[in-house]
Amino acid sequence: MPKTKSLLDGIGNQKETERYYDDWATNYDETLKNWNYKAPNKAVNILFNLKKNIIFNLDLACGTGLFGEELIKKNNKIIIDGCDISSKSLKITNKKNLYRNLFKQSFEKKIKLNHKYDSVSMIGSMTYCKKPNLLFPIIFNYLKKNGIFIFTHRVDLWIKQDFDSLIHSYNKLFKFNYKSRPLNYLPENINFSNKVKIRIVGLKKI
């Protein structure tokens, strides 16, 4: 199969993904707005329904900080840390002055942190996780007891990767707190339109 560089079919390895998002960073926010990307806003609303008292949030694959913007709109006292592999995206996030610490690091490696979070978010990025079975224990360690992991995942990949079974296999670590119906992801993008949907999921650390 030829190597395709597309959002829909996959960008490639981590280095290629990093370059892709670095190249996109300066007009990422504008493009996503044009595609009517609502996942950060919807995920924040769900997160606040699942947990009221959030003080610390860790935003994995934070990109240009769209999720942080929505979090701060809800509660401007929340302290947000973030990580991403795209340094150009992190530079843009940094300029927005919404995040406390930004780490240029993959979510697949444990970030050295000296405190725990009320919530961990990973929005629009599960597609890039090569080994989801290794990710969940890492996230478990970032969270306080009863902390929430909120993430989105494409429904087509959810089925292909049998995410229901995967999450069930971690039922000693997390309780399945919320799983949305399939929702539009990038409705104004011609390849995604109403064909590719996402779920928003909330897991509670036991």
Ligand X SMILES: C[S@@+](CC[C@H](N)C(=O)[O-])C[C@H]1O[C@@H](n2cnc3c(N)ncnc32)[C@H](O)[C@@H]1O
Q: Which stretch binds ligand X (CB under 6 A): 106-114, 138-146, 187-195, 198-206?
A: 106-114
Shortest Å distance, C-beta 178 to ligand X: 18
Cα 106 from Cα 100, distance rounded (Å): 18
Dihedral-angle region of residue 148 (phi above 0 means left; psi in -120 to 50 means alpha; beta otherwise): beta
Binding of residue 17 to ligand X (CB under 6 A): yes
Q: Which of 66, 60, 5 is nearest to 32 (CA)?
A: 66
Q: Which stretch binds ligand X (CB under 6 A): 69-77, 103-111, 178-186, 196-204?
A: 103-111
Query: Residue with the closest Cβ to ligand X?
Result: 63
Residue choice 47, 54, 56, 67 for contact with ligand X (CB under 6 A): 67
Q: How many CA atoms lie within 13 A of 99 on its CB side?
A: 27
- Give the torsion through C-alpha atoms of 142, 144, 146, 152, to 10 deg: -20
Give me the DSSP letters along 121-138.
Answer: EE-S-GGG-S-HHHHHHH
What is the footprint of ligand X within residues 153-172 (CB under 6 A)? Answer: none
Give me the DSSP letters along 2-65.
Answer: ----BTTTB--SHHHHHHHHHHHHHHHHHHHHHTT--HHHHHHHHHHHH-S---EEEEET-TTT
Residues in the chain: 206
What is the footprint of ligand X within residues 112-151 (CB under 6 A)? Answer: 123-125, 128
Q: Which stretch binds ligand X (CB under 6 A): 44-52, 100-108, 139-147, 198-206?
A: 100-108
Binding of residue 184 to ligand X (CB under 6 A): no
Shortest Å distance, C-beta 62 to ligand X: 6
Shortest Å distance, C-beta 21 to ligand X: 4
Binding of residue 106 to ligand X (CB under 6 A): yes
> Which element (helix H / strand E) includes 115?
none
Binding of residue 66 to ligand X (CB under 6 A): yes
Binding of residue 40 to ligand X (CB under 6 A): yes
Please give the residue ranges that form the binding site for ligand X (CB under 6 A).
Answer: 14, 17, 21, 39-40, 61-63, 66-67, 83-86, 89, 106-108, 123-125, 128
